[in-house]
C-alpha cells in the first residue's frame, strides 16, 4: 500500500512541481505547437517531393511526438531533482525506488498520449488523413504503447542525469536521432542497413509500423505491439538498474548533487 501511495502521490507531486517553472503558456507552444508544425512540415515536404502520402507522415510524426513528453520530461524528472538540490532528500526516504521511478514516469506517459492524440487530430483536420472509424481503437492502443516505450527511454536518460552535467543536451540528441532512425519520415527498408538495425532497437519504430498497418485497413499487428512493449521494458529495466547503480555510487562518493 505504501509503495502504491509513493507511486501515485509522489508521481503527481513531482509533475505538479514542474509547473513551478513550466507554466501553461510554455506548455502549449512546446508540447502542442511544436508537434503541429512538425507534422505539417514533413507532410508538405512529402507532397512537394511526391514521396508517400499524408497518412504516412501523419502516423509517423504523430506517434513520434509522444517522445517529446516522454524523453524530455522523464529525463528532467530525475535530472531536475539533482539540479535543484532536492535529490538527496528524495533518496533519503526508505520508499521503493521502483515506485518512485514508475510514479514519475506515469504523468509523462499520459502527456505523451495527449500530444500524440493531438497530432492525429491535427492530421485529420488539416491534412488528407481519414482513418476508418473501426481503426481508432487499435490506433489508440498503438499510441498508449508507443508513449510508454518512449517514456522508458526517457527513464534511462533520467538515470544518466545522475552523471551528466546537462541532461537536456543528451535528450535533444536522442529525440532527433529517433526522428531519423525510427522510420518516421523515411521507410525503414529504405534506410542503410546499419541505420535500420539501430532503429529496430529503439522505441517507436515498431509502434509506427503498427500504426501505419492499422490506418491502411489491416488487422492490428500484435507481433509489432508485443515487440514495442518488449523494447520499452528493456529500456525501463536498464534505466532502473542504472539509477540504482548511480545512486549507490553517489552515496559512496557523496556526489549525488554535484553538477
- The span from the CA of 70 to the CA of 105, in Å, is 8
Nearest to 179 by CA among 13, 164, 171, 107: 171
195 confidence band (pLDDT: 50, 70, 90): very high
User: pLDDT per residue over 1-14, tens digit each?
Assistant: 555 655 555 555 56
52 confidence band (pLDDT: 50, 70, 90): confident
- The confidence score (pLDDT) of residue 56 equals 94
- The span from the CA of 213 to the CA of 221, in Å, is 7
Mean pLDDT of the chain: 83
C-alpha cell at 226: 508485443
- The confidence score (pLDDT) of residue 92 equals 65
pTM for this prediction: 0.85
Nearest to 12 by CA among 110, 154, 124, 149: 110
Q: Of 77-81, 133-137, 191-195, where does mean pLDDT reach its minimum?
A: 77-81
Residue 125 has pLDDT above 90, yes or no: yes
- Give me the mean pLDDT over the 195-224 stretch: 94
- The confidence score (pLDDT) of residue 15 equals 61
Name every residue whose Cβ is closer than 8 Å to that of residue 2 and which is 6 or more positions away in sequence. Answer: 95, 96
- The confidence score (pLDDT) of residue 245 equals 84
Q: Which has more pLDDT, 45 or 78? A: 45
- Give me the mean pLDDT over the 180-207 stretch: 93
- The confidence score (pLDDT) of residue 144 equals 95
- Are 58 and 126 in contact by the 8 Å Cβ rule? The answer is no
User: pLDDT per residue over 65-74, tens digit each?
Assistant: 998 888 888 8
Name every residue whose Cβ is closer than 8 Å to that of residue 217 and which is 6 or more positions away in sequence. Answer: 132, 135
User: pLDDT per residue over 216-251, tens digit each?
Assistant: 999 999 999 999 999 999 999 998 888 888 777 766
Neighbours of 128 (CB within 10 A): 12
User: pLDDT per residue over 137-164, tens digit each?
Assistant: 999 999 999 999 999 998 888 888 777 7
105 confidence band (pLDDT: 50, 70, 90): confident
- Are 250 and 167 in contact by the 8 Å Cβ rule? The answer is no
- Give me the mean pLDDT over the 175-195 stretch: 92
Amino acid at each position: 500500500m505504501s509503495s502504491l501511495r509513493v507511486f501515485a502521490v509522489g508521481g503527481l507531486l513531482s509533475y505538479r512541481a514542474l509547473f513551478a517553472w513550466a507554466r501553461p503558456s510554455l506548455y502549449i507552444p512546446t508540447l502542442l505547437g511544436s508537434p503541429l508544425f512538425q507534422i505539417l512540415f514533413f507532410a508538405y515536404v512529402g507532397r512537394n517531393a511526391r514521396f508517400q502520402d499524408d497518412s504516412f507522415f501523419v502516423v509517423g510524426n504523430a506517434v513520434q511526438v509522444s517522445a517529446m513528453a516522454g524523453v524530455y520530461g522523464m529525463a528532467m524528472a530525475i535530472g531536475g531533482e539533482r539540479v535543484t538540490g532536492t535529490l538527496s532528500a528524495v533518496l533519503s526516504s526508505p520508499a521503493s525506488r521502483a515506485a518512485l521511478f514508475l510514479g514519475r514516469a506515469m504523468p509523462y506517459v499520459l502527456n505523451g498520449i495527449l500530444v500524440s492524440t493531438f497530432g492525429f487530430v491535427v492530421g485529420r483536420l488539416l491534412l488528407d488523413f481519414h482513418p476508418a472509424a473501426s481503426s481508432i481503437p487499435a490506433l489508440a492502443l498503438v499510441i498508449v504503447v508507443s508513449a510508454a516505450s518512449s517514456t522508458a527511454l526517457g527513464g534511462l536518460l533520467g538515470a544518466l542525469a545522475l552523471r551528466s552535467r546537462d541532461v537536456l543536451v543528451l535528450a535533444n540528441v536522442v529525440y532527433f536521432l529517433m526522428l531519423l532512425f525510427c522510420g518516421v519520415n523515411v521507410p525503414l527498408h529504405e534506410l542503410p542497413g546499419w541505420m535500420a538495425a539501430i532503429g529496430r532497437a529503439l522505441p517507436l519504430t515498431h509502434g509506427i509500423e503498427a500504426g501505419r498497418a492499422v490506418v491502411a485497413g489491416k488487422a492490428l499487428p500484435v507481433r509489432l505491439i508485443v515487440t514495442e512493449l518488449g523494447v520499452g521494458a528493456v529500456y525501463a529495466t536498464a534505466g532502473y538498474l542504472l539509477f540504482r547503480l548511480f545512486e549507490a555510487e553517489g552515496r559512496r562518493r557523496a556526489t549525488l548533487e554535484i553538477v
